[in-house]
């Protein structure tokens, strides 16, 4: 459609809600006010395995302002796990305080409710818990012989194979067999997880920071065994999620329970320290990579074996081998996933679950193989490109990986800069290195609904769009406003977007890189329905403006809803986004400190709804990749089984100085198999293979191949030079 | 946070008197460390005496050509003071390597000297720590000790001192001025201000209970030209050091005539390298001299189970700091 | 998207407020034309303040008064915030951050860690950036406090706020008030010639900040969404007065065509 507006899709407009955010007026879930609001403070276990034998609350109860102390001894009865060992779901139950059993250090074992925040915090420190402690299993190395094959790895088959891996390796001219480790990492969105729970009779309203509104309603209803109609969830602004707010977790249960038990609104905020154990995390993945190639660089064998850990209550494993199954063509492939149970919290989805750690192994291994072959690593990727997904023989709906690599190489000046000999360039005390990687990430598309209301005042028409989708920083407000402006041919000034309320039409929520595509198509459907309704009411087939149509139909207001959903055709294809990364790093030759100088990312991710916010997603992903590559890791204390990295002072997420210049090139792509608007996700593509590109550049600078992330000064100086 | 009474005395005498009367009392400077520890339930004072606004906010020249840094002046203003930058750029560099502008705007000079360790066992109240709870044991000794001490540790404690400023002050041979409740005062050489843990790791310094730091005295400027503070860390900024080195050199041509050296994050106190300072005097500045100096500096290092890498890293850090200090013109 | 889709500045007239904003941003002449070409519709939404019709936002402010009887070690303190004075009775343990958020309904300042390790709570106290989570309310008497809510003058955004909006210096927005307070203070620090750890020689004053200097000086404000590069652009533009150009582009048809064959 020819647009008259300059603010429709594809334009780099500033965020619609941006004014509120820069003025401090956007309201996050902890910022709603209520009379008689009480404050709750959670209490976490301080052993890794065992059971509570006694709880002394007497001192705490005596304190000024304390309203209630809740433990397993007096908690409301909830739907519990009943010993089931199942995979977590984004709408799964979140029971808490149902038994005296302790499964990991930092499990919620109680909650204190008081009139003020200070009183609740203080009283929580006065509660004395006695435990019968069991020998805990928290050491990954010690339990490697207890691994088993899970039924599924995050919904995907644990094992896949075709051809004969050993045979493929035997016929290879060059091969590698190496093992990589990625550590425990935490999401740590800047907004602390939080809930304000407000009961009115049998109805509860939860102001809760969540990525998925409808699923949060289900979690509350199921956990408390109440009708979904009695639950309302509100989350207009979400201060980051990255997967940690997909499922409403136990803290929300505690807040809702506390509000019920003290009969007033209750706010519960998860402290930064508690967030290390209360909201999921990315587990330690050990990945063995076996690659073989003939002299021309054609892959003859690809093997990827992942070993990681889950908890004793739930089974979760990232599909680290997901990308290995589909990125390159090979006649022989074996991809496996194995798990052990540890007394650590249940891992969960974290930005690009599977791809983020998996791509580090695959794309580092490809670099090692290129080195063995004496081949340009960019050429090795191009050599093994495929337009058919080797894991299922389906064609890709679109795949411009080669284009991404070549465009990126040119932008970066790869051919002139890259030199296979480590130590090729030195500047003062810095050794300069270049690295690259290829990336892919599934582009799912899910059923999503929206409602649009048009109001006319003379010749002027404004539109309000409502859906229960969330904006977790991804730009949902803006791209949906642009979709409305585009489809209804209105100026963005005349469009309102309202999100994050379970009263609004159901969306799949923010997660899995399906948000933009699903929400935008749902919004478009609602707008198309509005136009069609208006045409019917105006008795015309003409392509008039909505103002003209409303005038002709003598309407001042019209509301229409719409739902978009994938067609059957979608399942006939493999639908992915693709990308390429090139980077320059400087490594201090003595102390091993690594500095990121320049990054070039090329992304082929369908229709870019707004390049300004899409660029934000990519640089955000790269920042995450920098953290994964250089700074982030949690360490388990060997004797007590807790995370010894317990604050932002010990767990280092990247700061501003950790970043360097980043250039992003979007490759135009029209993929209407993906969905009618041709939109694909970009938020998780952005982190994929970043750590590999950085690690490859560190090797290129120093000749040291650090296979265990993060690449800290300690590891750089203790890793031998091998090239 | 435990409940406490807040006091805001109008002068130092009142603050000192107040402190001598009450048990479990802490002076409150910028609060950047103490308030954090109180939130962690590690520090549990009954009384807080606000001293951040007491009138020790001047930087003045001393009779013997040195400088007196007021104890309640904040780190930002101290580091950026014209005379500090001109005559003690090593101190400026070390102070600015620490924390962030926000924290440096709050943190007082006196408070910087009294920072507690970053050892995670000290912060986690469920774990043993002799520094937090004497007699409970040292969790780090046979636990997660990759960032623990290399020098001067005891079976009771392997914690390190976290300050950057103090490393420079040790290299610069500063002195600490303290006031006492009876109105008297005393001066403590910097190397004697902090202490090794021994069997009393709960004591970080040799301050007596209730003593109040009023100023930090710097001797006449010795290293205004050849200086470097090198801080190695796991994040490029806003992170505590893995190891750091403060270097000040006096040079005639390429000959070192005097050196002021200290290491950070390797011991319970800033680790002054007096023997290495003497070793360097009269030597030509060269990589081999510096490497020999670094070997000497770490000769007595006693690594724990997981921190041996810090010896190699520390040596390289010291060498780099020496190279960069010598190369300045 | 083809570049031709991007509207040029020639075909639209600037509103008065937009003109004023660009003046404030120090973008003139060719820069202004370049800026408008590159950023196309940015100017339009610079001005757009969406309203929300939902009942969710019709909220009463939090009750400012607590029963003093229930407070242990209660203290009286007059907090001077954004030019207004708020007499408050507070628990001696109450931090400035909690007083702002829980008692005064000034929720612009954010709680990201509550331990001085993230910078989300940054406010200006007597003109200097400080952490409100490590500041006891009791220590704030007679001090002038400015929060993010106090930066905008009248209906116009502070130039730093406008630059953050223009350069997309945020995503989820939670660290943003702290980043902006920090940046506002940083500009003053630069005017005073403050040095930093990345300054080549700390004996020299620094008044023109490189991107690296801005990065170091902003490292006390963590942005987990990773908008750092945009934050640097926003601050650099206000600091230097020169327009910062976007670092994204679309591959052209020719580039795409060329990429489909090996060289």
A232 and A118 assigned to the same domain: yes
Residue A605 half-sphere exposure toward CB, CA atoms < 13 A:
35
> What gap in Å lies between CA A27 and CA A209, rounded to an integer?
11
Q: What angle do CA A98, A103, A109 make, to 5 degrees?
A: 45
For residue A44, being part of any structural domain is answered with yes
* Contact between residue C140 and residue C134 where contact means Cβ atoms under 8 Å apart: no
Question: How many angstroms separate the CA atoms of A106 and A272, rounded?
Answer: 12
Domain boundary among A565, A584, A609: A565
Closest CA to A115 of A185, A51, A41, A184: A41
Which pLDDT does position C10 carry in this prediction? 39
Task: Identify whether residues A361 and A426 lie together within a single domain.
Answer: yes
**Which tens digit of pLDDT belongs to each residue from C72-114?**
688 999 999 999 999 999 999 999 999 999 999 999 999 999 9
Residues of C with CB below 8 A from B162's CB? none
For tokens 């001109």, what's the residue?
B86
Looking at the fold, whether A606 and A581 belong to one and the same domain comes out as yes
| The predicted structure's pLDDT at residue A6 | 66
Same domain, A433 and A469: no
CATH number at residue C113: 3.10.20.30
Of the three residues A565, A589, A623, the one that is the final residue of a domain is: A565
Q: Does C221 lie in the same domain as C166?
A: yes
B173: left (phi over 0), alpha (psi -120 to 50) or beta: left
How does DSSP assign C84-148, residue by residue? Answer: EEEEEEEETT-BHHHIIIIIS--TTS--S-SSSSS-TTEEEETTEEEEGGGSBGGGGTT-EEE-G
Q: Which residues of B touch A122 (CB under 8 A)?
A: 1-3
Tell me the nearest-neighbour CA distance from A159 into chain C, angstroms.
34
At C144-196, the pLDDT tens digits run 999 999 999 876 899 999 999 999 999 999 999 999 999 999 999 999 999 99
Q: Is residue C14 less than 8 Å (CB to CB) from chain B?
A: no
* Per-residue CA distances from A371 to A299, A723, B5, B202 (Å): 14, 9, 66, 54
Cβ separation B80–C72 shorter than 8 A: no
Q: Domain B226-327 belongs to what topology?
A: Enolase-like; domain 1 (3.30.390)
Q: Residues 392-411, chain A: which have Cβ within 8 Å of C? A: 402-403, 406-407, 410
pLDDT tens, B92-121? 999 999 999 999 999 999 999 999 999 999
Q: Is C5 left (phi over 0), alpha (psi -120 to 50) or beta?
A: alpha
User: Within this chain, do residues A561 and A619 fall inside the same structural domain, yes or no?
Assistant: no
Q: Is residue A493 domain-resident?
A: yes
pLDDT of residue C53: 44
Split into its structural domains, chain A has a count of 3
User: What band does B21 get if pLDDT is binned at 50, 70 and 90?
Assistant: confident
Assigned CATH topology for domain B59-114+161-218: 3.30.465
Choose the closest CB to A664 out of C111, C212, C248: C248
pLDDT higher than threshold 70 for residue C1? no
The shortest C-alpha distance from C150 to chain B (Å) reads 18
Q: Which domain holds residue A522?
A: 18-27+446-565
Q: How confident is the model at residue C71 (pLDDT cuts 50, 70, 90)?
A: low
Q: Quick one: A685 and A711 in the same domain?
A: yes
Q: How many of the other CB atoms lie within 10 Å of CB of C76?
A: 11
A129 and A164 within one domain: no
Q: Is residue C6, in this structure, part of any structural domain at all?
A: no
In a domain, A1, yes or no: no
Whether B282 shows a pLDDT value over 50: the answer reads yes
Which part of chain B is CATH 3.30.390.50? Answer: 226-327
Q: For position A265, which CATH number holds?
A: 3.30.365.10
Tens of pLDDT, residue by residue over A184-238, are 999 999 999 999 999 999 999 999 999 999 999 999 999 999 999 999 999 999 9
User: A46-66 as b/e, with b when 16 or more CB fall inside 10 Å?
Assistant: bbbbbbbeebebeebeebbbb
Query: What pLDDT shows up at residue A5?
Result: 56
Pair type for strands A576-588 and A430-442: antiparallel
Show residues of chain B in contact with C114, CB under 8 Å: 39
pLDDT grade, residue C66 (50/70/90)?
A: low
One domain for residues C165 and C236? yes
Q: Given this model, what pLDDT does residue B263 score?
A: 98
CATH class in words for B5-50 = alpha beta
**Pick from A55, A163, A190, A166: which is nearest to A109 by CA?**
A55
What tokens appear for C72 in the block? Answer: 């242990």
> A475 and A460 in one domain?
yes
Listed residue (B232, B221, B245, B251) closest to B170, CA to CA: B245
In a domain, C220, yes or no: yes
Instruction: Choose the mutation target among C22, C56, C160, C162 for the interface with A, i.e. most A CBs under 10 Å.
Output: C56
Residue in this structure with the two tokens 């069997």, named with its chain if needed: B199
> How does pLDDT run across B168-190, given as a tens digit for each residue?
999 999 999 999 999 999 999 99
Say if the Cβ atoms of A190 and C214 lie within 8 Å.
no
Query: Given a cut of 90, is residue C36 above it in pLDDT?
Result: no
CA distance C92 to chain A (A): 10
Last residue of a domain, one of C135, C150, C165: C150
Q: Which residues of chain A have pLDDT under 70?
A: 1-6
Straight-line distance from the first to the last Cα atom of chain A, in angstroms, rounded to the nearest whole number: 57
In-domain check, residue C260:
no
Does the residue C142 lie in any domain? Answer: yes
In a domain, C36, yes or no: no
Domain membership of residue C42 (yes or no) is no
Do A289 and A177 share a structural domain? yes
- Supply the residues of A annotated as catalytic: 684
Backbone conformation region of residue C83, classed left if phi is above 0, alpha if psi is from -120 to 50, else beta = left
DSSP E strands: which ranges in A532-575? 557-564
Q: What is the pLDDT of residue A83?
A: 78
Long-range contacts of residues A493-496, Cβ cutoff 8 Å, at least 24 apart: A493/A7, A493/C44, A493/C48, A494/A460, A494/A461, A494/A462, A494/A463, A495/A16, A495/A462, A495/A463, A495/A464, A495/A465, A496/A462, A496/A463, A496/A464, A496/A465, A496/C50, A496/C51, A496/C52, A496/C53
Q: Which one, of A613, A626, A694, lies nearest residue A656 by Cα?
A: A626
The pLDDT of residue C54: 52
Strands (E), A81-230: 101-102, 108-114, 128-133, 152-153, 156-157, 160-162, 174-182, 194-200, 203-208
Give B4-19 pLDDT, tens digit per residue.
999 999 999 999 999 9
Q: Rounded CA gap, C146 and A47, in Å?
A: 43
What is the predicted pLDDT for the residue at C154? 72
State how far the alpha carbon of B62 is from the alpha carbons of B68, B212, B275, C167, in Å.
6, 20, 28, 50
Kindly calculate the radius of gyration of chain C based on its CA atoms and give it in whole angstroms.
22
The span from the CA of A527 to the CA of A534, in Å, is 11
Task: Report the distance separating Cα B286 and Cα B290, nearest Å.
Answer: 6
**What residues contact residue A523 under an 8 Å CB cut-off, 6+ apart?**
A450, A452, A465, A467, A480, A483, A484, A487, A562
Identify whether residues A554 and A421 lie together within a single domain.
Answer: no
Q: Is residue A11 part of a domain?
A: no
Taking the C-alpha atoms of residue B31 and residue B96, their distance in angstroms, rounded to an integer, is 18
**CA nearest to C258, candidates A405, A611, A416:** A405
Residue C3 included in any domain:
no
CB contact under 8 A, C192 and B80: yes
Measured CA to CA, the distance from residue A702 to residue A593 in angstroms comes to 12
For CATH 3.30.43, the residue range(s) in chain B are 5-50
Where do we find the tokens 């670099």? A367
Same-domain pairing of A119 and A157: no
C69: exposed, middle or buried (C-beta count within 10 Å: 0-12, 13-18, 19+)? exposed
Is A1 in CB contact (< 8 Å) with chain B? no
* Contact yes or no for A204/A197 (Cβ under 8 A): yes
C138 shares a domain with C191: no
Query: Does some domain include residue C250?
Result: no
Contact A499, A467 (CB under 8 A): yes
Query: How do beta strands A285-293 and A174-182 pair?
Result: antiparallel
Residue intervals of chain B classified under CATH 3.30.465.10 are: 59-114+161-218
Chains contacting chain A through 3 or more C-beta pairs under 8 A: B, C
C130 and C75 in one domain?
yes
For residue A583, list chain C residues with Cβ-Cβ distance below 8 A. Answer: none
Task: Please report the pLDDT score of residue A81 as a whole number.
Answer: 80
A74 in any annotated domain: yes
Quick check: C67 pLDDT over 70?
A: no
What mean pLDDT, rounded, does chain C reach? 82
* Helix-helix angle A476-488:A515-538, to 10 degrees: 30
Instruction: Find out whether A266 and A39 touch, Cβ atoms under 8 Å.
Output: yes
- For helices A690-702 and A355-373, the axis angle rounded to 10 degrees is 30
Measured CA to CA in angstroms, residue A189 lies from A624, A693, C172, C205 at distances of 12, 24, 9, 37
A630 in the same domain as A655: yes
Same domain, C142 and C181: no
Domain termination residue (choose one: A498, A531, A565): A565
Average pLDDT for chain B: 97
pLDDT at C237 over 80: yes
Examine the domain organization and report whether C138 and C168 are in the same domain: no
- Establish if A6 belongs to a structural domain: no
**Judgement on whether residues C87 and C113 belong to the same structural domain of the protein:** yes
Q: Which residues of C fall within a CB distance of 8 Å from A685?
A: none
Q: B20: pLDDT confidence band, cut at 50, 70 and 90?
A: confident
| DSSP states along A490-512 | --GGGEEEE-SBTTSPP---S-T
Strand pairing category for A285-293 and A266-269: unpaired
Q: What's the domain range around C224? A: 153-240
Domains contained in chain C, number = 2
Residue B61 has a CB neighbour count (10 Å cut-off) of 12
What would the two tokens of residue B155 be? 């079976």
Cα distances from B70 to residues A444, B108, B170, C82, in angstroms, run 62, 9, 17, 30
């Amino acid at each position: 459609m020819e647009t008259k507006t300059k603010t429709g899709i594809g334009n780099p407009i500033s965020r619609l809600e941006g004014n509120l955010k820069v003025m401090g007026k956007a309201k996050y879930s902890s910022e709603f006010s209520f009379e008689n609001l009480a404050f709750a403070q959670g209490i976490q276990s301080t052993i890794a395995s065992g059971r509570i034998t006694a709880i002394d609350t007497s001192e705490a109860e005596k304190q000024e302002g304390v309203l209630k102390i809740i433990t397993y001894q007096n908690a409301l009865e909830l739907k519990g796990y009943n010993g089931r060992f199942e995979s977590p779901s984004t709408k799964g139950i979140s029971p808490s305080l149902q038994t005296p059993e302790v499964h990991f250090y930092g499990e919620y074992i109680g909650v204190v409710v008081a009139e003020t925040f200070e009183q609740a915090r203080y009283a929580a420190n006065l509660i004395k818990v006695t435990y019968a402690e069991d020998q805990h299993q928290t050491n990954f190395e010690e339990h490697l012989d207890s691994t088993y094959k899970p039924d599924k790895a995050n919904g995907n088959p644990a094992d896949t194979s075709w051809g004969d891996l050993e045979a493929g390796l035997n016929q290879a001219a060059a091969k590698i067999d190496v093992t990589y480790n990625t550590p425990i990492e935490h999401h740590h969105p800047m907004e602390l997880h939080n809930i304000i729970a407000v009961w009115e009779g049998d109805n509860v309203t939860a102001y809760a920071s969540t990525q998925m509104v409808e699923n949060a309603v289900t979690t509350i209803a199921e956990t408390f065994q109440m009708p979904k109609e009695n639950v309302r969830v509100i989350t207009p602004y979400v201060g980051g999620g990255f997967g940690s707010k997909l499922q409403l977790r136990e803290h929300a249960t505690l807040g809702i329970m506390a509000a019920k038990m003290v009969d007033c609104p209750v706010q519960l905020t998860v402290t930064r320290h508690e967030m290390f154990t209360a909201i999921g995390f990315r587990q330690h993945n050990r990945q063995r990579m076996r690659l073989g190639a003939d002299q021309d660089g054609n892959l003859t064998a690809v093997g990827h074996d992942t070993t990681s850990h889950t908890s004793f209550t739930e089974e979760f494993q990232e599909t680290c081998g997901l990308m290995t199954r589909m990125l390159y063509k090979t006649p022989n492939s074996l991809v496996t996933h194995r798990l052990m149970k540890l007394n650590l919290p249940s891992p969960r989805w974290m930005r690009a679950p599977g791809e983020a750690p998996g791509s580090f192994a695959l794309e580092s291994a490809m670099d090692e193989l290129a080195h063995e072959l004496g081949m340009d690593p960019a050429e090795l990727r191009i050599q093994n490109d495929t337009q058919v997904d080797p894991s299922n023989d389906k064609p890709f709906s679109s795949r411009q990986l080669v284009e991404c690599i070549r465009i990126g190489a040119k932008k970066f000046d790869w051919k002139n800069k890259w030199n296979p000999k480590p130590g090729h360039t030195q500047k003062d005390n810095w050794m300069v290195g270049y690295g690259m990687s290829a990336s892919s990430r599934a582009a799912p598309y899910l059923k999503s609904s929206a409602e649009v209301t048009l109001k006319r005042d003379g010749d002027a028409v404004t539109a309000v769009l409502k859906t229960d989708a969330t904006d977790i920083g991804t730009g949902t407000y803006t791209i949906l406003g642009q979709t409305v402006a585009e489809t209804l041919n209105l100026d963005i000034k005349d469009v309102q977007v309202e999100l994050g309320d379970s009263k609004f039409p159901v969306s799949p929520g923010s997660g899995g890189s399906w948000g933009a595509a699903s929400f935008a198509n749902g919004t478009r459907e609602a707008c198309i329905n509005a136009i069609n309704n208006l045409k019917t009411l105006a008795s015309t087939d003409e392509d008039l403006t909505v103002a003209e149509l409303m005038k002709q139909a003598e309407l001042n207001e019209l509301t229409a809803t719409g739902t978009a959903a994938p067609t059957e055709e979608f399942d006939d294809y493999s639908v992915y986004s693709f990308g390429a990364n090139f980077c320059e790093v400087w490594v201090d030759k003595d102390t091993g400190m690594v500095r990121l100088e320049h990054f070039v990312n090329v992304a082929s991710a369908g229709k870019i709804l707004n390049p300004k916010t899409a660029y934000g997603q990519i640089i955000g992903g790269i920042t995450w990749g920098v953290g994964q590559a250089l700074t982030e890791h949690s360490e388990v204390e060997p004797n007590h089984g807790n995370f010894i990295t317990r604050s932002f002072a010990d767990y280092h997420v990247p700061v501003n100085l950790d970043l360097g210049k980043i250039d992003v090139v979007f490759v135009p792509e029209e993929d209407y198999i993906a969905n009618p608007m041709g939109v694909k996700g970009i938020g998780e593509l952005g982190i994929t293979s970043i750590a590999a590109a950085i690690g490859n550049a560190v090797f290129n600078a120093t000749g040291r191949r650090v296979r265990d992330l993060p690449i800290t000064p300690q590891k750089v100086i203790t890793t031998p030079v091998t090239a | 946070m435990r409940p406490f009474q807040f006091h805001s005395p109008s002068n130092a005498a009142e603050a000192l008197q107040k402190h001598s009367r009450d048990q479990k009392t802490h002076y409150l400077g910028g609060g950047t460390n103490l308030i954090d520890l109180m939130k962690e339930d590690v520090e549990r004072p009954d009384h807080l005496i606000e001293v951040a606004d007491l009138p020790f906010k001047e930087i003045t020249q001393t009779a013997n050509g040195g400088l007196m840094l007021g104890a309640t002046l904040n780190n930002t203003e101290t580091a950026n003071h014209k005379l500090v930058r001109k005559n003690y750029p090593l101190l400026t560099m070390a102070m600015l390597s620490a924390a962030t502008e926000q924290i440096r705007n709050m943190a007082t000079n006196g408070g910087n000297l009294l920072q507690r360790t970053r050892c995670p066992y000290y912060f986690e109240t469920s774990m043993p720590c002799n520094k937090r709870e004497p007699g409970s044991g040292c969790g780090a000794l046979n636990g997660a000790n990759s960032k623990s001490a290399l020098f001067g540790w005891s079976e009771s404690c392997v914690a390190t001192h976290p300050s950057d400023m103090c490393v420079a002050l040790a290299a610069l041979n500063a002195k600490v001025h303290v006031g006492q409740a009876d109105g008297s005062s005393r001066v403590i050489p910097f190397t004697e201000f902090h202490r090794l843990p021994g069997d009393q790791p709960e004591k970080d310094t040799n301050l007596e209970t209730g003593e109040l730091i009023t100023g930090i005295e710097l001797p006449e400027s010795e290293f205004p030209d050849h200086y470097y503070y090198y801080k190695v860390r796991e994040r490029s900024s806003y992170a505590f050091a893995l190891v750091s080195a403060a270097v000040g050199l006096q040079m005639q041509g390429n000959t070192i005539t005097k050196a002021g050296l200290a290491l950070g994050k390797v011991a319970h106190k800033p680790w002054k390298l007096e023997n290495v300072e003497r070793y360097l005097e009269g030597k030509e500045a060269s990589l081999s001299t510096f490497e020999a100096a670094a070997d000497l500096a770490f000769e007595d290092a006693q690594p724990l189970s997981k921190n041996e890498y810090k010896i190699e890293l520390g040596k390289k850090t010291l060498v780099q700091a020496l190279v960069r200090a010598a190369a300045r013109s | 998207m083809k570049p031709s889709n991007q509207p040029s500045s020639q075909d639209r007239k600037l509103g008065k407020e937009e003109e004023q904003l660009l003046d404030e941003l120090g973008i003139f002449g060719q820069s202004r034309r370049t800026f408008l070409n590159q950023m196309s519709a940015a100017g339009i939404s610079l001005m757009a303040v969406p309203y929300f019709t939902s009942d969710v936002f019709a909220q009463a402010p939090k009750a400012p008064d607590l029963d003093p009887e229930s407070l242990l070690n209660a203290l009286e303190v007059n907090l001077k915030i954004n030019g207004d004075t708020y007499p408050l009775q507070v628990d001696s343990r109450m931090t400035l951050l909690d007083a702002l958020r829980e008692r005064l309904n000034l929720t612009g300042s954010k709680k990201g860690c509550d331990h001085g390790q993230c910078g989300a709570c940054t406010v200006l106290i007597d003109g200097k950036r400080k952490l409100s989570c490590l500041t006891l309310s009791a220590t704030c008497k007679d001090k002038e406090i400015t929060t993010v809510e106090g930066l905008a003058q009248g209906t116009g955004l502070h130039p730093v706020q406008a630059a953050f909006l223009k350069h997309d210096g945020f995503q989820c927005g939670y660290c943003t008030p702290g980043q902006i307070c920090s940046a506002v203070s940083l500009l003053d620090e630069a005017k005073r010639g403050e040095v930093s750890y990345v300054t080549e020689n700390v004996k020299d004053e620094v008044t023109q900040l490189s991107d690296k200097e801005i990065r170091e000086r902003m490292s006390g404000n963590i942005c987990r969404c990773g908008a750092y590069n945009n934050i640097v652009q926003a601050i650099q533009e206000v600091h230097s007065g020169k327009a910062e150009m976007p670092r994204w582009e679309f591959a052209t048809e020719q580039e795409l065509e060329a990429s489909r064959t090996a060289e």
